[in-house]
Amino acid sequence: MYPKEIDIINEGNGLRILWNDNRVSMIPARELRNACGCVECQSMRSKGNRLSLALLRDSANRIRSVDLPSSSKLLVTWRDGHNRSFYSFSNVLETFPPN
């Protein structure tokens, strides 16, 4: 499955993804940031700092932009400048199932 539309909603506090089967995933930005798989975020989580990501300043949990760098993943840039948040479509679908 792949996205037909991707909208940043609620002033950067979430994503709305319309998939090609016409189902929709509504994704809270804070949960998406906590699911970031980059080395920096993985390191924080491996040290038991999962909540550290959630407690970062507000801009850390607000989405600035979303790009599609390939046919199988999203790249989210956060308002705090963090720009290494890649999410495969399959992972997004599994973590944030559409309705």
Rounded CA-CA distance 21/10 in Å is 24
Instruction: Identify the structural domains of the chain with CATH numbers, from first to last.
Output: 3-95 (3.30.2020.30)
Buried b (16+ CB within 10 A) or exposed e, 20-56: eeeeebebebbebbbbbeeeebeebbeeeeeeebeeb
The amino acid present at 20, given as its one-letter code, is: N
The pTM score is: 0.86
Most confident of 13-22, 43-52, 55-64, 75-84: 13-22
Most confident of 34-38, 64-68, 78-82: 64-68
CB 89 within 8 A of CB 3: yes
Output the pLDDT for position 53.
52
